[in-house]
Amino acid sequence: MRNWMDPEPGPLRIGSEQHLRMFCNMLLQTHNPYRPAVIEWPALTPEALQRVTSLPIWDIAVQTEGRASIRVKTFARTVAHPLLRSALEMDGGEEARHKEVLSKLVEAYGIPLAPEPDYPPPADPEWGWLVTGYSECIDSFFAFGLFAAARRSGFFPAELVETFEPVIQEEGRHILFFVNWAAWYRRNLPWWRRPLFALKVARVWAFLVWERIGIARGIDADGVARDASFTMSGSAALGEAMSAAAMIDLCLAENEKRMAGYDTRLLRPDTVPRLARFARRFLR
């Protein structure tokens, strides 16, 4: 699941058919077939249970996975290329499985959840896919660091951290797949459609920034929890012990580690790490 090399040697041209095959096979061949139903949730001490249940992230986490799953699956249905389509279907299926893992955790520890909203398919499937892809690029980067911080500090019991490990690595595979898809897709657009696509990607980033500013202010207009709160409240819960600079360093190091095992010819998610390195220069 963590290590994957394409057996075909030689340099890779981004945007080629070989590139498409490579990032699809990376996702398909590193799938971990665990089943949420058989996960054994470790017994927690009363203090650990209290820490886990009082984190304000469970509603948001469950709903984020629910939305990601419908968005990815909806986009998959628009794709004619059989290999790409099956990789997208697997990606969407893994999101549905994340939701199941979280639901089982919530059930196992008696965490009360708000009633779940509907997850309607997006009107523009490509928009939904881009929003999910880029938001995962942001959230996974911070989740990698937060997860390592939780492991180090013992904020969560070690067994619980290990139970969750595959979910975190799966998000790493997803963003690796997504950035390679985005580069491949862009290269294969006719020249006159590229500016429109660039504009759409810019709108997605603007939307994600706006969404995260909203969360930072605690705006919750229609009572539905927002995607990125996982990162925000996660760092609030764990962050007190760490400076922002140390947190960014940890995120960068963990990001490297999570990506290190995959074929180096594939592109790496680099926008968020680059922004983080830039922000890091102003922190001590």
Q: Which residues in 50-79 contact Fe ion (CB under 5 A)?
A: 65
Considering only residues 92-121, where is the footprint of Fe ion by CB under 5 A? 95, 98
Gap between the Cα atoms of 185 and 20, Å rounded: 9
For Fe ion, give the closer residue by CB, 19 or 98: 98
Within residues 210-269, the interface with Fe ion by CB under 5 A covers none
Pick the closest to residue 67 from 10, 136, 14, 19 (CA basis). 136
Residues near Fe ion (CB under 5 A), total: 6
Amino acid in the structure at residue 248: I
In whole angstroms, give the CA distance from residue 171 to residue 2. 12
123: three-class secondary structure by DSSP: coil
Nearer residue to Fe ion within complex by CB, 44 or 60: 60
Q: Which stretch binds Fe ion (CB under 5 A): 32-40, 88-96, 220-228, 250-258?
A: 88-96
139 is an interface residue for Fe ion by CB under 5 A: no
Taking CB under 5 A as the rule, does residue 171 contact Fe ion? yes
Q: What is the sign of the dihedral through the CA atoms of 71, 73, 77 and 83?
A: positive
The stretches of 32-157 forming alpha helices (DSSP H) are 46-54, 58-76, 82-108, 125-153
Q: Does the footprint of Fe ion cover residue 174 (CB under 5 A)?
A: yes
List Cβ neighbours of 171 (8 Å cut-off, separation of 6 or more).
Answer: 136, 139, 140, 143
CB nearer to Fe ion: pick between 230 and 242? 230
Q: How far is the CB of 68 from Fe ion (least distance, A)?
A: 5
Q: Which is nearer to Fe ion, 18 or 25 (CB)?
A: 25
Q: In the bound complex, what is the minimum distance in angstroms from residue 91's beta carbon to Fe ion?
A: 7
Footprint on this chain of Fe ion (rule: CB under 5 A) = 65, 95, 98, 136, 171, 174
